[in-house]
Amino acid sequence: MAKAKTSFVCQECGGVSTRWQGKCPHCGSWNTMHEFVEKPAAQAQNRFAHLAASAPVRSLAQIETAEIPRISTGMGELDRVLGGGLVSGGVVLIGGDPGIGKSTLLLQALTNLSQHTPVLYVTGEESAEQVAMRAHRLELDTTNVKLLAEIQLESIQQGLEQEQPKICVIDSIQTLFSGELSAAPGSVSQVRECAAQLTRLAKQKGISIVMIGHVTKDGTLAGPRVLEHIVDTVLYFEGETDSSYRLIRAFKNRFGAVNELGVFAMTDKGLKGVSNPSAIFLSQHNEEVAGSCVMATQEGTRPLLVEIQALVDTAHVPNPRRLTLGLDGGRLAMLLAVLHRHAGVATFDQDVFINAVGGVRINETASDLPVLLAIISSLRDRPLPKGLFAFGEVGLAGEVRPATRGQERLKEAAKLGFSIAMVPKHNMPKQEIEGLTIWPVSRLDEVLNYLR
């Protein structure tokens, strides 16, 4: 019999090495190499014998396509992030910090789905009694929800064969183990093998499988990087511990758009979708304050209004501080240099603090113009005009560049009662928007002319 081959796999990048090393030779990460025992060739050949038949070669133009049917979870925000709902045979991986609400969200979704679809909840972290207690606390009707408390992969596969559910939740993938491997549950080899086997079963039987995954201290999904490549959709559940709001983002979706955002509010009856998330990210001031500017950002197909706050104060140390929360700190240093070079506004002796209200993280460059407006307002200690919002990228030459989906941003702000929009000149709407005054700008010095 052929001997099992041992290799070492990096949990960060999935790189393989023949011997253990403290530093991964592929990505440079430290202490991420874990042992992986490969199956002998004879065993692998028997296990994958059904894949030996070669598929016929066809012309791509001859393949008929049809719109993928969706299975609604009954939760509009979750359906939005998934691209319209679950897909038959699709595999979803959702990660998040402990206690963020992953199990609660999926238990609520399964309860909704169970009214018209056979479902199965596989729990490996909690006992059946603990899951039942949570469902009772949330007052969920779990009459049609089947539960399996099991961590052995082969038993779970047998349960799926017997129950034939259309939707299955695995809580969580790190707790499962296969009897064919000697490694402990949660190891690289076990996570990779269990995820691959469940994905193969989902494709063969047309079962939609949702896996819950642990995250590392850096906030990324634990386990081998190949885990994200195996599944069809990767979601991240985010939220501050002191906030009742939760955000869910799609970072990979083979059946829909990425970078979609779903917003939930944690209540005593579980997670509830937020229909107007812009209200969360806007502070409620009784009167206009200096250092505040509203930004119209775009999260996937959803426009959002977020308040950007700036505090500029005299520095009492040789090296002034530049601190950002929710935005790119390196970009702030660049914007301050552009502000000085092309607008004559110096901040070399000032501490600058920037915050995106509500704990949201903004990654797009359209935040440049609102950040500069908030900085100028705080530096002058003068509030911006009432009802003003802005968006636009600022280049190193002092030009203001257009942002994508400008029309949607303008309409969202007008719907919420904003009356003045400072936008890049190329984002001027073709038709006038009722109740909205447009201030088009093409260079940074034009911005200051509007604020005088």
pLDDT given for residue 42 in this prediction: 47
Output the DSSP codes for 212-247.
EE-B-TTSSBPS-THHHHHSSEEEEEE--TT-SEEE
Mean pLDDT of 269-279: 85
**Span 43-85, pLDDT tens digits:** 544 554 554 456 688 898 888 877 888 999 999 999 999 989 9
Structure tokens at 229: 């490549």
Nearest 5°: the CA angle 226, 82, 62 is: 80
pLDDT given for residue 244 in this prediction: 82
Burial per residue of 3-12, b for 16 or more beta-carbon CB atoms within 10 angstroms, e otherwise = eeeebbbbbb
**Span 326-337, pLDDT tens digits:** 899 899 999 999
Between CA 317 and CA 428 the distance in angstroms is 43
**Span 222-238, pLDDT tens digits:** 666 778 889 999 999 88
Mean pLDDT of 353-367: 89
Q: Is 294 helix (H, G, I), strand (E, B) or coil?
A: strand
Structure tokens at 152: 């052995």
**Span 2-31, pLDDT tens digits:** 566 778 877 777 678 888 888 888 888 888
Burial per residue of 182-200, b for 16 or more beta-carbon CB atoms within 10 angstroms, e otherwise = ebebbbbbbbbbbbebbbb
Closest to 169 in 3D by CA, of 189, 148, 187 = 148
Whose structure tokens read 């393989």? 16
Between CA 182 and CA 37 the distance in angstroms is 8
Average pLDDT, rounded, for the chain: 87
Q: Are 21 and 33 in contact (CB under 8 A)?
A: yes
Question: Range with the lowest mean pLDDT among 235-239, 258-262, 386-390, 443-447?
Answer: 258-262
